Structure 1
Amino acid sequence: MLYARAGLGSFVTVVALAGAGCGDGEGEPAPVETFDGIDVLFVVNDSRAMVPLQERLGEHVAGFLDSLAAAEGALPSLHVGVVSTEVTDSTVPAALCPGRTGGELRSIDCLTDGAFARSADGNYAGALADAAACMMQLGDLGCPFEQPLEAMRRALDGSVPGNDGFLRDDALLAVIFVTDEDDCSAADPYLFSQTTTQYGQLSSYRCFAHGIRCDQPDTGTPGPRTGCVPATDGPLHPVDDYLAFLETRKGGRWRVVVGGLVPPSSPVQVRREAETGLTLLEPLCPSIGPEIG
């Protein structure tokens, strides 16, 4: 989780329902501020084996909205958007995932118009919960190098014209990440090139091997890893860059809450797949689906 902090206590419900939520306990107290609505951005992994988690998420959307309505006495004005974790760079030769550039809100065919659901004018047939659940069914053909943090930034930074109007100045922003793997938001897009050898085998293990530092030097040897923290000199964007982006984009961190349906960060276990010889991480949530390689 990045951080979760809101000006009004009731809005922390957004994070609690997403499966995580806590204050950072540092800095000045958040000012008291009322919001005219909530802009909810779901960042959903669409790579292999994610369909069961997407379906589970869709099944709980109605309860999520009911809790928001109960907290406020009525359902607040909502914008609900969904973006996948797929981000690609067409300038990289032999990129593993040449396709969508990333950050586009994905309405699929769930809305009557626009790229995000709007509760105020009901741009969907039926209930908002049904439309939101529909948008979250992105499938599992996306890139195995997931970049949820970068996808979030592109969805909100104004670079995607189709997303215009989603982010409102007078609304609280809630970002909810739904994924089963580590973030791999790359400062060096060659991390995903099939011809690059400096990062080792072509699998999402590159993201861990070069984006995380543990107490044990990573040689690819199977076994446990302890004391793992983000690398400060690797090919990935620092998480602090995304925290700063959210705070600046909304004009204060009390105007943003962030949560996630994500696996725990430990224990970390490296294994070698017998069939392919690939070095992989042992999945922490095997009931959701097989590990993505």
Structure 2
Amino acid sequence: MPTIRRRSPWCSALALAALAPAAGCLDHPLEQVHYHSEAEVIVEPPMDPRRKVDILFVIDDSGSMGEEQAALAANFSAFVEVLERLDVGADYRIGITTTDNGHPWCTGTSPEAGALQLRSCRAHLDDFVFSPGTANEVDRRDIACEQRCPAELAELGTLPTLTDGDPSARSRPWLERSDGTSNVPEGITTAQALACWGPQGIDGCGYESPLEAMHKALVRSGTDGEPGAGFVRDDALLQVVFITDEADCSLGPAGAEAFDPDGDQVLWPDPDAPVPPSAVCWNAGVSCETAADGSTHCEPADLDARGEPAAAGDEVLQPLSRYLEILDRIDQRKRELSGSGESQVLVSVIGGVPEGYDGHGLDYGPGDDADFLDDFGVGAGCRSGNGQAVPPVRLRALAEAFSPDGSNNLYSICNDDYSPALEAIAERLVDVLRPNCVDACVAGADAIIDGALPTCTITQEVDGVSHRVATCGHEDDGSWSLPDGEDLCVYAVTGDELHPTCQRNSRNVELRYLRAPGVSLGQVRTTCEVSDDPAVACR
């Protein structure tokens, strides 16, 4: 709730009455407000929107992911360009880990187990060769790394930075950018850096464990002494992005038993197979039913090594509740600290769903490829020239649980171009970031022309010098720009252009700022006339 500074008993009472309709639980905490006459409101500070977001990418590094990692490296720019737009100016961190959490059948890999990875793909090119020296060798060094990351960036690392829990400047295993300044060495853009840091190789464990990798990454972030300690900030949104072409296989307490060739092999499609296929993961974590129309619908299930509903401690895969609970704890803590009623955690998946998937109508049928069915336990969720992908049932359930407005947050890994998916994920973050709603019913909002609001004055003080903030330029194509010679500008919007948070809280003016990279905000103050008829102006 706003804080009222009483200067005139009569005008304070009037102001409180004007705010009464919006005195309930706000979706976002709005700015501190001071009334100093019957017709004006001072908003301090108007530039306190939440702009912090921590993004964890969990990237499949198994043998089939060469083309997908190449597509990701080629399109990281689409993601960061949204976050770095002048009208967004996100304070972001990007951390990357793999889906390799180890497995009894993966003795030749070095599981990252949720540890954040930050090294140039040029520095570990051998990881981009699957099954080297065999008939099954796959070499993706060129397309997944060398085409996007020049040789001179083989030793690319981050510049030293501080964290809230570590006052010593040191290189961190994540990319970060704040106030237009990043921890990427000078002369290299964040997109160029991600094209080198993003690709993880294709020699990781083929029993992918994206959910457990996420869990361990989040635990590591909160553990002193870990290289990734402090990655997740209390006052930042958390976005998790999974990129995988297979079903989750995060082993639980009874996991080893289910994969033991000397065991019952109930979950094996072929008990005589020399190696357990990934179908064991599907059969242990998914339950399906066929509807009257012939379509097949599947949901997560916690099964034991006999394929029965598992008692606690007997699950082949870690229960999905394990991952729901850690994200929910993080979400609740962030809500308490921010005072926000909206979700502070988002989850997205680029996985085995059809191209153009809109969030509805997945069919988990057996498909028409018998070999794929034997290998993975289900028909392909999507196909492309590069192969097929398994439907992500457990990942889908987690993503849907952390989609605040129910919007689609699953995208097809079979699409050759990941820029639409990455742009959509970034734009969803922008929608959730806290807007600059003026926390009062402003007079004259209908008089806004090209972003200028005559009833509000916005000033900035830097080094003791105060000046009025310029109105941004409104271009013919509808975009906004910094006027010549200005490093900060503002434009006002109202009506249908208002952020939904402003509309829900009966606020009629939103201020949007553009500022040049690296520019200090100083102290900014907004003074606006208050409407004498809020029931009409802010209905």
Q: 2: CA distance between counterparts of 1:268 and 1:76?
A: 42
SS in structure 1 at match of 2:324: helix
Deviation of 1:115 after TM superposition, in Å, equals: 1.0
Distance in 1 between the 2:208 and 2:78 partners? 28
Q: Which amino acid in structure 2 is aligned with residue 166 of structure 1?
A: F
Q: Is the 8 A contact 1:40 1:80 kept in 2?
A: yes
CA distance in 2, matches of 1:135, 1:51: 15
**Is it true that 1:100 corresponds to 2:126 in the alignment?**
no
Q: Given the alignment of the two structures, is residue 266 of structure 1 paired with residue 363 of structure 2, yes or no?
A: yes
1:189 corresponds to 2:270: no
Which residue of 1 is the match for residue 344 of structure 2? 255
Aligned pair 1:85/2:99, yes or no?
A: yes
Residue 73 in structure 1 maps to residue 87 in structure 2 = yes
- Number of positions where the alignment pairs a residue of Structure 1 with one of Structure 2: 253
Query: Which deviations, in whole Å up to 9, do the C-alpha atoms of 1:40-84 show, x marking residues without a partner?
Result: 1111111122121112122222121222234x7143111111110
Q: Cα RMSD (Å) of the superposition?
A: 3.0
Residue 323 of structure 2 aligns with which residue? 242
Preserved CA contact (<8 Å) 1:39 1:166 = yes
Matched, 1:229 2:299: yes
Letter in 2 for 1:106: Q
- Asked whether the equivalents of residues 45 and 85 of structure 1 are also in contact (C-alpha less than 8 Å), the reply is yes
The separation in 1 between residues aligned to 2:114 and 2:243, in whole angstroms, is 15
Q: Distance in 2 between matches of 1:98 and 1:131?
A: 25
Q: Is the 8 A contact 1:87 1:102 kept in 2?
A: yes
Structure 1 residue 211: Cα displacement:
1.4
1:161 aligned counterpart, secondary structure: coil
* TM-score where L is the length of structure 1: 0.75
Aligned to 2:183: 123
Name the counterpart of 1:11: none
**Which blocks of at least 5 consecutive residues in structure 1 are unaligned?**
1-28, 217-223
1:166-185 equivalent positions in 2, closer than 5 A: 166-185=231-250
* 1:292–1:172 CA distance, 2 compared to 1 (3 A): closer
Segments of structure 2 that go 5 or more residues without pairing to the other structure are 1-24, 30-48, 121-155, 159-170, 271-275, 305-315, 336-341, 354-361, 391-539
CA shift for structure 1 position 196: 4.7
Change (3 A) 1:194 1:57: farther
AA at the equivalent of 2:233 = R
Judge conservation of contact 2:67–2:386 (CA < 8 Å) in 1. Answer: yes
Say if 1:193 and 1:111 are closer, same or farther in 2 by CA, change over 3 A.
farther
Q: Is 1:209 the counterpart of 2:306 in the alignment? A: no
TM superposition shift of 1:269: 1.6
- Three-state SS of the structure 2 residue aligned to 1:107 is coil
SS of the counterpart of 1:73? coil
The corresponding residue for 1:60 is 75
Determine if the alignment matches structure 1 residue 111 to structure 2 residue 107.
no
Quickly say closer, same or farther: Cα 1:225–1:45, change in 2 above 3 A.
Answer: farther
| Secondary structure of 2:84 counterpart | helix
Work out the CA distance in 2 between the residues paired with 1:135 and 1:116. 9
Q: Secondary structure at the match of 2:82?
A: helix
Normalised by the length of structure 2, the TM-score is 0.43
Alignment check: 8 A CA contact 1:95 1:193 kept: no
- In 2 relative to 1, CA 194–167 (structure 1 residues): closer, same or farther, beyond 3 Å? farther
1:269 partner SS: coil
Cα pair 1:204 1:292 within 8 Å, conserved: no
Distance 1:63 1:292, change over 3 A: closer
- 2 CA distance for matches of 1:182 and 1:30? 39
What is the percentage of aligned positions where both structures have the same residue?
27
Tell me the alpha carbon deviations over residues 96-122 of structure 1, each in whole angstroms, 9 at most, x when there is no partner.
565315101111234233211121453
Aligned-partner residue type, residue 118 of structure 1 = E
Alignment-mate amino acid for residue 347 of structure 2: V
- SS in structure 2 opposite 1:181? coil
Higher relative contact order (CA 8 A, sep 6+): 1
Q: Retained in 1: the 8 A contact 2:351–2:389?
A: no
State the SS of the aligned residue for 2:383: coil
The answer to whether 1:32 aligns with 2:28 is: yes
Q: CA deviation at 1:256?
A: 0.7
The residue matched to 2:97 in structure 1 has which SS?
strand
Counterparts of residues 124-163 of structure 1 (less than 5 Å) = 124-125=184-185, 126-158=188-220, 161-163=226-228
Residues 276-291 of structure 1 correspond to what in structure 2 (within 5 A)?
280-287=377-384, 289-291=386-388
The answer (yes or no) to whether the contact 2:58–2:96 under 8 Å persists in 1 is: yes
CA distance in 2, matches of 1:261, 1:280: 20
Q: CA deviation at 1:128?
A: 0.9
Q: Secondary structure at the match of 1:66?
A: helix
Q: Which has the larger radius of gyration?
A: 2
CA pair 288-122 structure 1, distance change in 2 beyond 3 A: farther
Task: Supply the distance in 2 between the matched residues of 1:196 and 1:98 (Cα, whole angstroms).
Answer: 24
